[in-house]
Structure 1
Amino acid sequence: MQSSRGAWLDNGYPTTIAVNLSARCLLDPLLVEQVTDLLHELRLPATLLRLEVTETAVMANPTLALTTLTRLHELGIAG
């Protein structure tokens, strides 16, 4: 993915990347840490990452989902 980043972001083409999250991913306690690590590793601005979740994923555990989504939003990630 690093070479892909170089091909578009480094050449002045900031493109948003959309990622669908399953309920399992959304409720993973390590998700925020893993996303943060990947953003740093790839030198990708958080503002270019858009995470998409379904209502079903949120309803699996609304409290944990809201906490996770809030933490991701605080990083600058769109939802």
Structure 2
Amino acid sequence: MKLRQSTGRTGSCYDNAAAESFFAILKSEIGTTCWPSREAARADVFRFIEMHYNRQRLHSALGYGTPHEARLKYSPDIALAA
């Protein structure tokens, strides 16, 4: 069995704060679901991220906008090459 050591510091709750926050939200929304297949589970997680987490969730650090709105606001207009 191959094991990989964690890169976080022992006893530091701030090392993985963003990931822990995301997974807490994910578990509270769809964590108790039993899916018939891995593909169905992946589709539900993708749907949650794209339809709720990025497009409906308001974030205080983004001026109470969604991550999707912030991405559109701060990304430069890029014209496609012909």
TM-score by length of 1: 0.24
TM-score by length of 2: 0.23
Considering only CA atoms, is the larger Rg found in Structure 1 or Structure 2?
A: 2
Higher relative contact order (CA 8 A, sep 6+): 1
